[in-house]
Structure 1
């Protein structure tokens, strides 16, 4: 994930191949399964499931796929044994990474993540080694809004959001407390907003620029490996990477 520009990363994901989109569908399917196991299959009474469904729709997962995953998770019951594990470490150049996983085999996942960091000039650390450099926030992205800045500000604060910003392309980024994400999203949806992304993210308090080309290559390779791993649900770093803006 991009430390400084959430939208650039979301846009890059949206433009990926069908194979990459299938991986995203699989990862979100795991999140839905876990949410059903923890709170049942009715989104009206399971706020975590509502959040997962919103995330799935923002990533263009077909409704039939969503319904199928929910029904399977309900019928399987306790067979769904995915475990959420968060890893922290440093990539090349001392860039801080937080990696969120859902796995049915913690030994396999830990081995894979450690291998990626070691192979590309970094090292996996202990819990807490980099999390102090990030703030957890709910993040909502509106790709296109027909509303004025004054209207957006009024609606965001009326919904209980913490803050919002609008970039030069008109993309609106709204931040909330993590537990308020669903409430704020639903309030804004009722006001006519549509979201390109809705999720809890780790926002770096400061970002780091890397000028050395070899180090940048290692960081990009680490990011590619994390994106390609089925057990990795999401990840965040504090690298201010101008290449992402150039892709836009």
Structure 2
């Protein structure tokens, strides 16, 4: 019976109502933090999120206090280096832009491709895969408009805050404005 109750609860049988919520706040050094959750107990989740912010010296904000600093965008990473054949930067850029991407950034170990309209994400991803590119990471995510440098003395505290939030079983995703 206990096992069946647990299975029913996980499947949403028996009245378990899950809610999608977004918590906003500021972590150490004023870094904006956006936390997306899926929970069946908002009191438990709010308490845990508030506690994580408090442990890091940050504070939970009100709705809208942080969200304006992020844009929902498509994000694709294409690795480059030893494991992948040498990719020509101009070719990757042209292929991504022709597929509908809005921005391509080249780094030593990867290309980062941003798609401003999340509705175009699948078309861009599919076009790049059709061209034979290996996609290391592809998702619709929240991207900081103005990433901030984190002071060296606050990096560990911020990392602890993000880790504590991500360890919460109700947390779906954590986004920050940290570089």
TM-score, length-scaled by structure 2: 0.81
In the alignment, the residues of structure 2 paired with residue 189 and residue 126 of structure 1 have an alpha-carbon distance, to the nearest angstrom, of: 41
Which has the larger share of strand? 2
Q: Deviations over 1:134-156 (max 9, x none)?
A: 22211011123543222212211
Q: Name stretches of at least 5 consecutive residues in structure 2 with no aligned partner.
A: 1-6
Paired residue for 1:198, among 138, 143, 147? 138
Other-structure match for 1:135: 71
In the alignment, the residues of structure 2 paired with residue 110 and residue 183 of structure 1 have an alpha-carbon distance, to the nearest angstrom, of: 37
CA distance 1:156–1:117, shift in 2 (3 Å): same
Is residue 230 of structure 1 aligned with residue 169 of structure 2? yes
CA distance 1:133–1:195, shift in 2 (3 Å): same
CA distance 1:174–1:210, shift in 2 (3 Å): closer
In the alignment, the residues of structure 2 paired with residue 166 and residue 217 of structure 1 have an alpha-carbon distance, to the nearest angstrom, of: 28
CA distance 1:207–1:163, shift in 2 (3 Å): closer
Q: Greater CA radius of gyration, 1 or 2?
A: 2
Other-structure match for 1:187: 127
Q: Give the match's secondary structure for 1:239.
A: coil
Which has the larger share of helix? 1
TM-score, length-scaled by structure 1: 0.60
How many residues matched?
Answer: 163
Query: Retained in 1: the 8 A contact 2:34–2:176?
Result: yes
Q: Deviations over 1:157-203 (max 9, x none)?
A: 2211111111022x011111222212211121111122111112222
CA distance 1:216–1:149, shift in 2 (3 Å): closer
Q: Deviations over 1:29-76 (max 9, x none)?
A: xxxxxxxxxxxxxxxxxxxxxxxxxxxxxxxxxxxxxxxxxxx9xxx5
Other-structure match for 1:155: 95
Q: Name stretches of at least 5 consecutive residues in structure 1 with no aligned partner.
A: 1-71, 241-248
CA distance 1:161–1:123, shift in 2 (3 Å): same
Other-structure match for 1:96: 32
Q: Give the match's secondary structure for 1:230.
A: coil
Q: Deviations over 1:11-37 (max 9, x none)?
A: xxxxxxxxxxxxxxxxxxxxxxxxxxx
CA-CA distance at 1:212 after TM superposition: 5.7
In the alignment, the residues of structure 2 paired with residue 105 and residue 118 of structure 1 have an alpha-carbon distance, to the nearest angstrom, of: 20
CA RMSD of aligned residues (A): 2.1
